[in-house]
Amino acid sequence: MNDTKIASKAKAQLAKFMGKVFTHFSRPGMRFIEECIYGIQASGDTKLSSIVRAIDDDIRPIYTEKRLSRNLDDDTLGQAVAGAVLGNGARFVRHDTLLLVDPTEIRKEFAHAMEHVTLVRDASRSSKEGRDVLVNGYHGCMVAACRIGGRKTVPLALKLWSSRAPGFKGENDEVLETVKAVYGATGGKGVTVYDRGGDRPAFYDYLIGEARDFVIRLKGRSVLSWRGMHEVHDLARECTMRHAHHVTFDSHGRECDVPISFGAMPVRLPAHPEKELHMVVVKGFGQEPMLLITSLPVNGSFESQWRVIEAYLSRWRVEETIRFVKQSYGLENIRVMSYTRIRNMASLVLASAYFATVWIGRSVRREVLAEHLTRLGKRLGEVPEFAAYAIADGIKRAFTRFGKWVRATAEAIAAKPEPATELLLPGFADIFDHDDG
């Protein structure tokens, strides 16, 4: 398949994506969303000027930019776009699928005039300098679906907010609102996996109250055991490490093999004494043991305890997804000034990431297209384990180097029926239910 044909097929898939996912939008609304997704994919950026140049629709750029800016200032747009993506992605979630929740931020260090800009923790600088470094920016949260130990993720939600915005109630409310929306779309299916930030009463109240399964890393709190109330670290010292295992992972390009030992014990939260939970204690990752609290069934067997540990270790996949979104689509390059436009742009970036990571490759034809796009990306060295980077590079090259978007041609190609033998990418069949309905 030559490069021009690859570009034509990729553009046709974008038209199919629009027709499948955003069916309830008006034609002007679909046109705007389509142009934005195309522009973000082609430019790898969220600046309106970059998106306009990528569209190249034979209209004076200033007029196109004003039109996009005007459409972006719609209070209902972001929620509608995010809801459409979530509704399509939720079909892949089964009862044992992990819902990886991770807070994030976008840094706008010198953007003092952006509406409701607030202070956020710069994670990269903070880890390097050994202290909390605060810069201007916006808080955020992403939820991605993944199977236990899986390599592929489905981005389900991406939300930005500011603590200085009117009506802001708190980080717990913002994150819980996102998690509730995901569970609402999945019909209650999925297992929430959250790092230390999830060790808060508000999250336990919701998850236990709504009978949602979860795996959360404990920071430090008192729990009820058979011996009464104890602080979790004190209780962990009494846990018998019945099992041992080796965990192999890549750290900065170097393969590490860490021997660990682990055990589990039943516990209850003081606020929810009626609900039996289990605390899994893992030693070997650091000086202090890693403590995981879960609602999943756990007994003395290796399999039941390792399932909880592996679910938590899969959490880094959502961090990789966030990094992919920031690097491939320039999420932190947002230049729009209003709070509404900033949040709406985040939803459009979510749709762009979903198109690259989920839509491309779902059928046999798209799998072939994904392989050609990966080749077209002309990456130096091997394709990374998180192959979405290579696909995004290929889409960008296809959209920018081999002809601009021609709506009539793309819609004609998109109207052709696909073969009935749609199959998932290798590995996906065991991860998610396949439903094209």
List the domain boundaries for the chain. Answer: 3-82+345-414, 199-314
Question: What mean pLDDT comes out for the span 150-173?
Answer: 94
* Tally of CB atoms within 10 A around 436: 10
Distance between CA 265 and CA 318 in Å, rounded?
28
Question: Above pLDDT 70, what percent of the chain?
Answer: 83
pLDDT at residue 18 tops 80 = yes
pLDDT at residue 337 tops 90 = yes
> What is the structure's pLDDT at 162?
97
Question: What mean pLDDT comes out for the span 171-179?
Answer: 97
Which residues make Cβ contacts (< 8 Å) with residue 66, sequence separation at least 6?
A: none
Using a 10 angstrom Cβ sphere, with 0-12 exposed, 13-18 middle and 19 or more buried, the burial of residue 228 is exposed
Listed residue (410, 416, 427) closest to 362, CA to CA: 427
Distance between CA 313 and CA 302 in Å, rounded?
16
Distance between CA 296 and CA 276 in Å, rounded?
10
**Greater confidence, 407 or 169?**
169
> What is the structure's pLDDT at 405?
52
Distance between CA 190 and CA 214 in Å, rounded?
9
Distance between CA 394 and CA 392 in Å, rounded?
5
Strands of 195-283 (E only): list them: 213-217, 222-225, 228-231, 243-251, 254-269, 272-283
pLDDT at residue 21 tops 60 = yes
> What is the structure's pLDDT at 399?
83
pLDDT at residue 326 tops 90 = yes
> What is the structure's pLDDT at 61?
87
Listed residue (310, 357, 316, 291) closest to 156, CA to CA: 357
Question: What mean pLDDT comes out for the span 225-249?
Answer: 89
Residue 55 banded pLDDT, cuts 50, 70, 90: confident
Instruction: Read off the tokens for 105.
Output: 């931020």
Instruction: Read off the tokens for 92.
Output: 């892949």
pTM: 0.87
> What is the structure's pLDDT at 390?
81
**Greater confidence, 2 or 349?**
349
pLDDT at residue 19 tops 80 = yes
Alpha carbon of residue 40 to chain centroid = 17
Instruction: Read off the tokens for 246.
Output: 């080796």
Residue 155 three-state SS: strand
Cα dihedral sign for 133, 137, 141, 147? negative
Question: What mean pLDDT comes out for the span 338-347?
Answer: 97
Which residues share a beta bridge with 279? 265, 293
> What is the structure's pLDDT at 419?
44
CA 155 to each of CA 141, 284, 285, 354, 432: distance values in angstroms, whole numbers, following the listed order: 11, 31, 28, 6, 14
pLDDT at residue 373 tops 80 = no
Give DSSP secondary structure letters for 66-119.
Answer: HHHHHHH--TTHHHHHHHHHHHHHGGG--TT-EEEEEEEEEE-TT-TTSTT-EE
Q: What mean pLDDT value characterizes the chain? A: 86
Question: What mean pLDDT comes out for the span 28-56?
Answer: 93
pLDDT at residue 342 tops 90 = yes
Using a 10 angstrom Cβ sphere, with 0-12 exposed, 13-18 middle and 19 or more buried, the burial of residue 34 is buried
Residue 430 banded pLDDT, cuts 50, 70, 90: very low
Distance between CA 280 and CA 291 in Å, rounded?
6
Half-sphere exposure of 373 (CA within 13 A, CB side): 31
> What is the structure's pLDDT at 7?
79
Question: What mean pLDDT comes out for the span 339-349?
Answer: 97
pLDDT at residue 227 tops 90 = no
Distance between CA 112 and CA 123 in Å, rounded?
20
Question: What mean pLDDT comes out for the span 102-114?
Answer: 93
Give DSSP secondary structure letters for 312-379.
Answer: HHTTHHHHHHHHHHHHHH-GGG----SHHHHHHHHHHHHHHHHIIIIITTSSHHHHHHHHHHHHHT--
**Greater confidence, 287 or 175?**
175
Residue 419 backbone zone (phi > 0: left; psi -120 to 50: alpha; other: beta): beta
Question: What mean pLDDT comes out for the span 166-195?
Answer: 97
Count of H-run helices and E-run strands, the chain = 15, 12
Per residue in 376-415, pLDDT (tens digit) is 444 444 444 556 888 888 888 888 766 555 554 444 444 5
Question: Above pLDDT 90, what percent of the chain?
Answer: 66
Residue 152 banded pLDDT, cuts 50, 70, 90: confident
Question: What mean pLDDT comes out for the span 185-194?
Answer: 97
> What is the structure's pLDDT at 361?
52
Per residue in 276-309, pLDDT (tens digit) is 999 999 999 888 999 999 999 999 999 999 999 9
**Greater confidence, 318 or 364?**
318
Residue with the two structure tokens 């605060």: 134
User: Any idea of the CA torsion for 398, 403, 404, 405, to the nearest 10 degrees?
Assistant: -70
* Tally of CB atoms within 10 A around 326: 16
CB-based contact 266:277 (threshold 8 Å):
yes
Question: What mean pLDDT comes out for the span 193-199?
Answer: 95
> What is the structure's pLDDT at 435?
42
Question: What mean pLDDT comes out for the span 224-230?
Answer: 88
